[in-house]
């Protein structure tokens, strides 16, 4: 940890930084999965999904920046390299062989739901550690993940 005048105790900052880095890895992985879907989607509603997947990837980029900047503000190191993400992300590998719209919607919505569940758990953990700022950051990210999940699921129908 880097020195900082942030008044959160070092042990809290260490725990929060680990939590943030876990979500950073999952969010970067999800962002790349959204780009994979964007580049490779075919079939019904192509242009709508092509654009939606890209929009989601862009919003995930915003979330990634929030996570990484919070880590560094607390004196930690944002672990955002491909190697670090591959090691830390708990998301299943995105299937490279799919191209149909529905397959991408299913794969991406499942991954997005998993990251959303992780964000909600992170809100609770940050709250338990008395770090309201990080809990608020996770709340902001969670709200957007829920909205993006709704947009994906709307294309799946029922």
Tell me the domains of the chain and their CATH numbers: 10-88+100-156 (1.20.1260.10)
- The DSSP-derived string for 8-63 is S-HHHHHHHHHHHHHHHHHHHHHHHHHHHHHHH-BSTTHHHHHHHHHHHHHHHHHH
pLDDT above 80: residue 158: no
Asked if pLDDT for residue 116 goes beyond 90, the answer is yes
Q: How far apart are CA 51 and CA 46, in angstroms?
A: 8
Mean pLDDT of 112-124: 98
Confidence of residue 24 (pLDDT cuts 50, 70, 90): very high
Q: Which of 117, 120, 112, 113 is nearest to 137 (CA)?
A: 120
- Mean pLDDT, the chain, whole residue set: 97
Q: State whether residue 100 is helix, strand or coil.
A: strand
Residue 137: pLDDT band with limits 50, 70, 90: very high
Entry pTM: 0.96
* Half-sphere CA count of 16, side-chain side, radius 13 A: 33
């Amino acid at each position: 940890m880097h020195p900082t005048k942030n008044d959160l105790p070092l042990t809290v900052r260490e725990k929060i930084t680990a939590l943030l880095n876990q979500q950073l890895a999952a969010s970067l992985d999800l962002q790349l999965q959204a780009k994979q879907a964007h580049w490779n989607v075919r079939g019904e509603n192509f242009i709508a999904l092509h654009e939606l997947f890209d929009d989601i990837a862009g919003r995930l980029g915003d979330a990634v920046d929030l996570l990484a900047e919070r880590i560094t503000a607390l004196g930690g190191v944002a672990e955002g390299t491909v190697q670090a993400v591959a090691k830390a992300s708990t998301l299943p590998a995105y299937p490279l062989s799919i191209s149909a719209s529905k397959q991408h919607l299913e794969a991406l919505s499942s991954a997005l739901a998993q990251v959303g569940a992780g964000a909600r758990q992170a809100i609770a953990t940050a709250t338990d550690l008395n770090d309201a700022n990080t809990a608020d950051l996770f709340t902001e990210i969670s709200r957007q993940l829920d909205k993006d999940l709704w947009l994906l699921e709307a294309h799946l129908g029922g």
